[in-house]
Structure 1
Amino acid sequence: MGTYTYPAPPAKVSGGDTLEIHHLLKTPALMGRRVRTLLENRFIADAILTGSFQAVGGAILYETGESIFGDDEPESIAPGGAYPLTEQVMGELAAARVDKWGRDTLVTDEAINRLGINPVDRALTKLVNTTVRFVDSAALGVIASKVTETYDTTAGNNAPGAWNTAKGIVGGVLNSIAKIEALDEGFSPDTIVLKDAQWATAMTALIDAGMLPREGANPLVTGQWPETLGLRWLKSNHTPTADPMLFDTTQLGGMADEKQNAPGYASAAGIGVETKSIRDDEHDRYKLRARRVTVPVVLEPSAGLRVVNAGL
């Protein structure tokens, strides 16, 4: 599975004559390539739940809460002596059932003849955007329900306060990271997720304080937040909580996709989304379909934290 970035770059679209477009719609491999530019790196769910799991038979069994430490401490070994064994403690067994999420839309021969590839691309874009919005919302909802650890920016004598100042943001982020690392379970946050408006407020405060790069990775030029305080700063309005969230994405969990290998489907961008074009000769049109058969899996809830009372 590849490395995902977020948000996605804009799709690059090229035209074609009518025969080429009909050939594309009848060829699953070409459909998959066409959708790839629309879909690549678009899911924030895959940017947070970076594990790639394979669901079989409509469900996945997994272990959660496994300690990174063994039951027994190392012992002194005499020269030539045998090393004692220690049992591996397994986590709590859990199960998750996959869901098939998808939608169809129609493109007529007349639309293709008059507008070329444009109606196909617009239809696929809408299908992709709808799939992304729904899967991201579902995945982030699962994450928010599983991640219960919090850091209160207003609690205590040395509380950094609300995130409307650079001091509040830096103090809140560093204290949140320290709280996760203090669990001594091997977690180290690498990503923070905010809503779009929160991202804009925080970035403005840090720029105003002169704490972001002036050259090269300057967000005023690129529109992208550089890695700051050791974190990727991602934004999504699909998150179900108003609180900023920090994650160790290497250990939080993953998306469990089920490959059904049904005829006529093409996988796009290699992250589980499948597309299909179904010819309807009786009505001179195509039915375009996008679907994802998956379930979000949170393996380590303690690898995440919500920042409460941030005031964003």
Structure 2
Amino acid sequence: MPGSYPAAAPTLSGDTLSISRFLQNPTFLQRRLRNYKDLRFVSDQILTQRFKSQGGAVLYEQTEPFVTDRTVEAVSAGSEYPFANLPTGTAAIAAISKWGQKVRLTDEEVARNQYAGAAVDRCLQKVVNSIIKQVDAVTMSAVQSAAADTATAGSWDNATAANRKPLDDILLAIQTIVDRNLGYDPDTLVVPTKGYTYLMLNDAIAQLRKRETSENPVYTGMIETIANLTVLRTPALTTSALVLDSKALGGMADETDGAPGYSVADLGVQIKSIRIDEIDAWDLQGRRKTVPVVQETGAAQEITGVVS
């Protein structure tokens, strides 16, 4: 937003009037939220389904069987097909939590900035980032608790280069998920930031990459796919990595209550500006009312101890 709302005149009244119209308009706040490049929770990339909550909670089935309870039989000509039942998963319930905080922005901080909107932009970004950090931490903890563990072939930052075998770990985790024979198709690798660095530094992986291309991590500083998995990095993981099927693993259950004055972003982030006339200031209040739902525990495999 810097530059979008420049100070019209070097007077306090002119600046305050300009920015007040912005802060009092939920539509403008909503538009600004959607412009944030970082408004992409890791949570919503690994738990891609969307659930509707009711009464502050969501009811779901966990580990629903993908086959019937009866073996398929040969059917003779003119015979009736045998009936089978469709087993259901274990019923579970998850309560919605409201994660939020607010920050204060004074009229003087707004007015004395070179661009009238820069201070608001900075405060909004900090609130949104804090919400993302908290929700992602809760989600990763839930997924790690549900996922099965697997030993590493060798820590990715091992002091001995020959013992660094991230590709072995990733391929074995994929095999473990597929061998469950439940229709899972692993498509995502989630790694801690240090693990991400060592993926790019690994010699065995580097030797298998396409050569003579500007898409190499040495130029881009990124490694987007490995073993046909989309690579995501998050500080919410510290020492472990996760291989998972993002389409089957689960989803996020967000609650919207229609409270007045809130601007709602695409991923459930809500922001509200509250005028405090007694002290010539604004409170920017942000929240997300949500809970992660892990439906298919077999769709994820945790690789433990990838980095120290």
TM-score, normalised via structure 1 length: 0.86
2:303 matches 1:307: yes
2:251 matches 1:254: yes
2:226 matches 1:219: no
Counterparts in 2 of 1:130-141, with a 5 A limit?
130-141=130-141
2:293 matches 1:293: no
Per-residue CA shift, 1:45-70, capped at 9, x if unaligned? 11111111111110001000111111
Q: How far off its partner does 1:75 sit?
A: 4.1
Match of 1:275 among 239, 254, 271: 271
Q: Letter of the aligned partner of 1:298 in structure 2?
A: V
**In the alignment, is the contact (CA less than 8 A) between 1:206 and 1:212 conserved in 2?**
no
Q: Which residue of 2 aligns with 1:9?
A: none
Q: Which residue of 2 aligns with 1:114?
A: 112
Q: Which residue of 2 aligns with 1:129?
A: 129
Distance 1:242 1:47, change over 3 A: same
Q: How far off its partner does 1:27 sit?
A: 0.9
In 1, Cα distance between equivalents of 2:59 and 2:137: 23
**In the alignment, is the contact (CA less than 8 A) between 1:169 and 1:202 conserved in 2?**
yes
SS class of match (2:20): helix
Q: Which residue of 1 aligns with 2:261?
A: 264
Q: How far off its partner does 1:207 sit?
A: 7.7
SS class of match (2:208): coil
Q: Which residue of 2 aligns with 1:16?
A: 5
Q: Which residue of 1 aligns with 2:101?
A: 103
Distance 1:70 1:118, change over 3 A: same
Q: Percent identity?
A: 34
2:199 matches 1:202: yes
SS class of match (1:131): helix
Counterparts in 2 of 1:69-84, with a 5 A limit?
69-77=67-75, 82-84=80-82
Q: How far off its partner does 1:201 sit?
A: 1.2
Counterparts in 2 of 1:57-76, with a 5 A limit?
57-76=55-74
**In the alignment, is the contact (CA less than 8 A) between 2:61 and 2:91 conserved in 1?**
yes
In 2, Cα distance between equivalents of 1:88 and 1:14: 59
**In the alignment, is the contact (CA less than 8 A) between 1:217 and 1:226 conserved in 2?**
no
In 1, Cα distance between equivalents of 2:204 and 2:26: 47
Deviates more, 1:209-218 or 1:110-119: 209-218
Deviates more, 1:218-227 or 1:285-294: 218-227
Deviates more, 1:276-285 or 1:177-186: 276-285
In 2, Cα distance between equivalents of 1:309 and 1:142: 18
Q: Is there any run of 5+ residues in structure 2 with no aligned partner, and where?
A: 7-14
Q: Letter of the aligned partner of 1:43 in structure 2?
A: F
Q: Is there any run of 5+ residues in structure 1 with no aligned partner, and where?
A: 1-11, 155-160
SS class of match (1:209): helix
Deviates more, 1:38-47 or 1:189-198: 38-47
Q: Letter of the aligned partner of 1:296 in structure 2?
A: P
In 2, Cα distance between equivalents of 1:208 and 1:92: 40
RMSD value, Cα:
2.2
Larger radius of gyration: 2
Q: Which residue of 2 aligns with 1:228?
A: 226
Q: Letter of the aligned partner of 1:285 in structure 2?
A: A
TM-score, normalised via structure 2 length: 0.87
In 2, Cα distance between equivalents of 1:88 and 1:230: 33
**In the alignment, is the contact (CA less than 8 A) between 1:163 and 1:172 conserved in 2?**
no
Q: How far off its partner does 1:306 sit?
A: 1.3
Distance 1:109 1:176, change over 3 A: same
Counterparts in 2 of 1:176-191, with a 5 A limit?
176-191=173-188
Q: How far off its partner does 1:226 sit?
A: 2.5
